[in-house]
Chain A
């Protein structure tokens, strides 16, 4: 058997066992119980009042988050794609900052600002504007969830939009101006319609993300949303198929979104190849006044976006933050405790180990898939690529639920049973979730490297494996590194799989430890925050490193289509 067929088989085996099986299992179990085929549980989603409320609330959150992300990201992306101004490079790096903290950790910090005894209430009372303390998030939990998820997710939409705008041939806009369209009309009649597939793809990404976000509503104590209901139903996974129906529903919604956006993207590609690309675009410089306005707007936006980071950091360096505007009792003790307490030290080590395994797995499988698709000349390469992209449409929630359903049932009390020992399945689930980024990164690298380098090596006597080792890998190392760093960083902060799969304390990764600690007594919140700061620093450094390796192409890895 040729190496490329062997590797195809291996990759298909891994994807089959760890992606297709759990997903299929969820579908099957949602329409089947001891009595055989039944639509009872699916119907329950639309008849049971509690479930209906949860479905409605989840949709409402996702729609609001998507809309508000669009509101922020659309003007921002146009500005960064079409105008130049002082400090643009720095701003565009800073805009990625909000991604480095999972929104549920943000929520932990933000509670201290918006709670009854929090900074905002205290400030307003001191100013005499309100009579008594107000629990802002308690009173408006939905607004809080939407706000935090928006602040976290708008960069992803922004990256998609910038890429969509940048891909438009400048002469298409110039032709519109030339035939009499004002700048506003050019945007409405040419730029936006041409960017629409990219806009839609980005919106789908944000929609799914917020539709399936588990951590934030959990921290807000909102139980009547689908992800939290699914989380709660894990406990009765063997006895009550209602959880399967909910997971299947989430999966159908996500997949439908991705399928539609893929169709739209494909349709655009088929018409977009006209003539050859004209001269490069020169960005229009902003006037002094324009630059000032933009700078102020960006300051406000980023100020808002780093508010959660700031509050988490403040929590980490102070003992008390109760009925005061600013926290009190400054200390660095919690950073040390985060590294020394048994629970947190274990969590950090667990996360490091799990993420490292996940990253190695991703680099191997991701490069393999990209190579097979771009260079392998295997039949069905498109299908393989589509399969590798599938995790984009499969929320972590679904994977984790599916793993428990499949592996706890099939291999009880072995290392493949997540309830017994979740180590393998946790790192595999991290890897599967981030596989698309890795495939993208490797794909982009391979497409930039001319085949003739590899042909020359083969021509001079290198076997196919030696060609990959001596020529291909060194040439795309930067891409693989960037992809690997992103996989690692995001694995460190994976939320839903960690919360669901890790059930015994000794196996907790960082995110689960933060979640458990923030409810705990005796400065648990502060230690949790200190862990959050460590994680932020890690993810921030990771994204910066990946960005410097990929340069402007970093946006490609977050693209949806």
Chain B
């Protein structure tokens, strides 16, 4: 991915209120051309409103949106050129598949011959070349999803907006469609903005993402960065399971926790700031030989839950409840009630400053 000087999309200070509810509060970020960019957050965090603002279906109360450097605030939705894949598909029941796909071409006064060629081409790309004459109601959920994608793709847009596109599909179809979307984006240089509440979709598909909470940008980054080094407790917990241990910085590479002094992977709580140490359950491991190494503490096993390939272990370390995940094949010595030492690699010991406002963990 090349990073050009002008981002494909830039959102600057966007605020939106519905009555007394602030749906978006000073949201800013930018998206590079060709990126698969995710807006991730729990329901009600404002991500869909943000997507609708990009499409021009909502108008922000404050702030600007730029497409390739151009302020699009004054463009009505039908001139945005940002086709959207609606969550409920929004396939017109009175038009057949071909007519649905050709809709935008008709609005653009594309000649009949070209319409036919482009619709044929795009239906082939999504594997529906034989379904052109069907009505939407005669298609399966997955096929309807493809028609919606085709309806957007046929316009050769620089940008496609996706609103929870997989949420209406069953588990097997989701996996299929995820692969389908991945293939699609490899074959095009279209920028995708993808809204979801499902962190698994985001982690597996995104180039970059913003994690949103209560109308604000909580974190921006690549899936790997945000998962392994979340900048906020909310981000840590939203992207996966996380142990958040109260911590206070000492210098730049160590923290004091109730479980002792730990070395941390990076600065974050330097200068005596207080906050948390984030440790993913899979980063905790039982220390076999009794030794006092770095970041080791003793905890009692309160319970074990078998998940298949892994075992989840509930720990009690001096009143602090922690969760560890170990591979089933490494778990044979573990039993409820025993006290053993547990360790964390320094690289996986992540300091997170307390969120402004003093809250910790997820906010409503």
A residues near B (Cβ < 8 Å) are: 169, 171-172, 174-182, 185, 189-190, 193-194, 196, 268, 270-278
Contact = CB atoms under 8 A, between A and B. Distances in A.
Interface string B76-101: 11111111101111111110000000
Nearest to B145: A275
B144 interface: yes
Nearest to A277: B88
Contacts of B82: 178
B186 interface: no
Nearest to B107: A180
Across the A-B interface, give the 10 residue pairs with the lowest CB-CB distance, nearest first.
A275-B88, A179-B104, A180-B107, A175-B90, A171-B90, A271-B137, A271-B93, A177-B77, A193-B94, A278-B88
A171 B78 contact: no
Contact of A169 (B56, B76, B80, B88): B88
A189 B106 CA distance: 11
A554 to B, nearest CB: 27
Interface centre among A178, A180, A268 (most CB of B within 10 A): A178
A174 B90 contact: yes
B92 A194 contact: yes
A263 to B, nearest CB: 15
Contacts of A194: 92-94
B137 A171 contact: no
A180 B84 contact: no
B151 A174 contact: no
Contacts of B84: 174-175, 178
A270 B94 CA distance: 11
B281 to A, nearest CB: 35
A272 B79 contact: no
B151 A274 contact: no
Interface of B is mostly: loop
5 contacts: A174-B84, A175-B92, A179-B152, A193-B94, A278-B88
Contacts of A189: 103, 106
A165 to B, nearest CB: 14
Contacts of B305: none
A110 to B, nearest CB: 42
Contacts of B136: 271, 274
A172 B88 CA distance: 9
A264 to B, nearest CB: 11
Given A174-B86, A271-B137, A274-B144, A179 B91 contact: no
Interface centre among A169, A177, A182, A277 (most CB of B within 10 A): A177
Contacts of A171: 86-88, 90
B83 A270 contact: no
Contact of B83 (A178, A271, A274): A178
A169 B168 CA distance: 17
B155 interface: yes
Interface in B39-94: 55-57, 76-84, 86-94
B108 interface: yes
Nearest to B109: A180
Given A194-B94, A272-B93, A174 B88 contact: no
Given A171-B86, A174-B57, A274 B93 contact: yes
A169 B90 contact: yes
Interface string B203-224: 0000000000000000000000
A175 B86 contact: yes
B138 to A, nearest CB: 9
A196 B144 CA distance: 24
Contacts of B89: 274-275
A179 B83 contact: yes
Nearest to A197: B94
A179 B92 contact: no
Contacts of B103: 176, 179, 181, 189
Contact of A181 (B78, B90, B94): B78
A180 B79 contact: yes
A180 B78 contact: yes
B108 A180 contact: yes
B184 interface: no
Interface of B: 55-57, 76-84, 86-94, 103-104, 106-108, 135-137, 144, 151-152, 155, 168
Contacts of A268: 93-94
Contacts of B79: 180
A178 B77 contact: yes
B23 to A, nearest CB: 12
Contacts of A178: 55, 57, 77-78, 80, 82-84
A234 B137 CA distance: 52
A177 B107 CA distance: 10
Contacts of B78: 177-182
A271 B77 contact: no
Interface centre among A175, A179, A270, A271 (most CB of B within 10 A): A179
A169 B88 CA distance: 10
A181 B77 CA distance: 9
A270 B152 CA distance: 26
Contacts of A275: 87-91, 144, 168
A179 B151 contact: yes
A271 B94 contact: yes
A274 B141 CA distance: 9
Given A171-B88, A175-B90, A177-B77, A185 B107 contact: yes
A276 B135 CA distance: 17
A424 to B, nearest CB: 48
Contacts of A278: 86-88, 90
A201 to B, nearest CB: 16
A270 B86 contact: no
Contacts of A179: 78, 83, 103-104, 107, 151-152, 155
A276 B89 CA distance: 9
A181 B78 CA distance: 5
Contacts of A270: 137
A171 B91 CA distance: 9
A327 to B, nearest CB: 51
A176 B151 CA distance: 11
A271 B92 CA distance: 9
B92 A172 contact: yes
B108 to A, nearest CB: 6
A77 to B, nearest CB: 19
Nearest to B135: A271
Contacts of A182: 76, 78
A175 B83 CA distance: 8
Contacts of B91: 274-275
A173 to B, nearest CB: 9
A179 B81 CA distance: 7
A268 B95 CA distance: 12
Nearest to B101: A179
A196 B87 CA distance: 25
B135 to A, nearest CB: 6
Contacts of B55: 178
Nearest to B77: A177
Contacts of A277: 88
Contacts of B107: 179-181, 185
A278 B168 CA distance: 12
Nearest to A179: B104
Contacts of B81: 180
A180 B106 CA distance: 9
A182 to B, nearest CB: 5
A179 B86 CA distance: 12
A176 B86 CA distance: 11
A275 B140 CA distance: 11
Given A180-B107, A193-B94, A274 B86 contact: no
Contacts of B94: 193-194, 196, 268, 271
A277 B93 CA distance: 13
Given A176-B103, A177-B77, A190-B92, 11 more contacts: A169-B88, A171-B90, A174-B57, A177-B78, A179-B103, A179-B104, A180-B81, A270-B137, A273-B137, A274-B88, A278-B87
Contacts of B56: 177
Nearest to B154: A179
Contacts of B104: 179-180
